[in-house]
Amino acid sequence: MRKNVGKLDQSIRYIIAIILVVIAAIFQDPFWWLLIPAAILAFTAAVSWCGLYRLLGVDTCKINNDEE
C-alpha cells in the first residue's frame, strides 16, 4: 500500500480527530456519532493512507515510495 498522506496532513487529521472526540465527550448524547469520523481520521493518519485520496488521485506525501 503506497502512502499518500503527508506529515502536515497527518497532523491536521490528528488535531481534527482530537477536537471531534472532545466535542463528543462534552456534548455526549447528541454528538456521539462524531466518534466515527474521528476514528476514521485517526486511522488514516496512523497508516498514512487515505482511500478517498487514492480514488481522487491526491498525494500529499513527499516521499516517493513504490510499494503497492
pLDDT in tens, 10-25: 999 999 999 999 999 9
Report pLDDT for 28: 87
- Whether 22 is covered by a domain: the verdict is yes
Domain limits for position 12: 7-56
Q: What is the pLDDT of residue 1?
A: 78
Say if 23 falls within a structural domain.
Answer: yes
Query: Is residue 1 assigned to a domain?
Result: no
Residue 67 resides in a domain = no
Is residue 61 one of the residues assigned to a domain? no
Contact 52, 5 (CB under 8 A): no
- Residue 66 belongs to a domain: no
Angle between helix axes 35-47 and 7-26 (nearest 10 degrees) is 160
Neighbours of 19 (CB within 10 A): 13
Does residue 68 form part of some domain? no
Total number of domains constituting the chain? 1
Q: Which residue has the cell 496532513?
A: 9
Under-70 pLDDT residues of the chain: 64-68
d(CA 53, CA 26): 31
**Structure pTM?**
0.84
